[in-house]
Amino acid sequence: MTTSNLNINPHKLRNLRSRRKLSQQEVADKLGLSRSAYAKWENGQTKINVEHIKALASVLEKDIMELFSELLGTNTNIGGVVGSMGDHSTVEYADPELAIENAKLTAENKELRAELKGKDELLKSKEQTIQKCERENQTLQDLVASLQDLVASLKEQLATK
């Protein structure tokens, strides 16, 4: 089974580490990573997988669900259903694996929505270009018809002279 890589809030990761008074090197060592690999998470250059988030929870001495909530901006906690807040439901899970899966799906959903929005904007732009080309084509057809009428009129005048 492959694990999904998730976009996290790099500033929150940096703040969590700083609050624990740990250096990037110390966290990286505890996770079995190079300092530069860890730094890329804090700089938002690379995504992080679920297994690393689990390990980070231990290193940062945070509950895994709290860490998920902070890093991913989700409202996932352990327990039962809490209710809703505006347009976003706040769901709590008895099974941390369900919460992790939900966080992955939420992140993937967010990425797909952003991709879809970009494609919608591109489609609107292309439709506007097509409409502009159709208007220009009609103008050219009208011009050609006018020129054909003018040529026919000039031929008629020449023929009568």
- Fold observed for domain 5-123: 434 Repressor (Amino-terminal Domain) (1.10.260)
Question: Taking 90 as the threshold, does the pLDDT of residue 105 lie above it?
Answer: no
User: In the predicted model, is pLDDT for residue 124 greater than 80?
Assistant: yes
- As given in the structure block, the two tokens for residue 122 are 């591109």
Instruction: At 61, list the tokens.
Output: 């001495």
Q: How far apart are CA 152 and CA 16, in angstroms?
A: 82
* Pair 52, 64: CB distance under 8 Å: no
Residue 72, pLDDT > 80, answer no
Average pLDDT over residues 9-24: 93
Q: Please tell me the distance from the alpha carbon of residue 155 to that of residue 117, in angstroms, as a whole number.
A: 57
pLDDT at 81: 33
pTM, two decimal places: 0.47
CA–CA gap between residue 20 and residue 8 (Å, rounded): 19
- Residue range 119-138: average pLDDT? 94
**Angle, vertex CA 107, rays to CA 79 and CA 102, nearest 5:** 30
C-alpha–C-alpha distance, residues 39 and 128, integer Å: 43
63, 79 contact by CB (below 8 A) = no
pLDDT at 95 over 70: no
Provide the pLDDT for residue 24. Answer: 95
Q: Give the H/E segment covering residue 49.
A: strand 48-49
Q: What pLDDT is attached to residue 79?
A: 38
Kindly indicate the confidence band of residue 111, based on its pLDDT and cuts at 50, 70 and 90: confident
Mean pLDDT of 60-85: 62
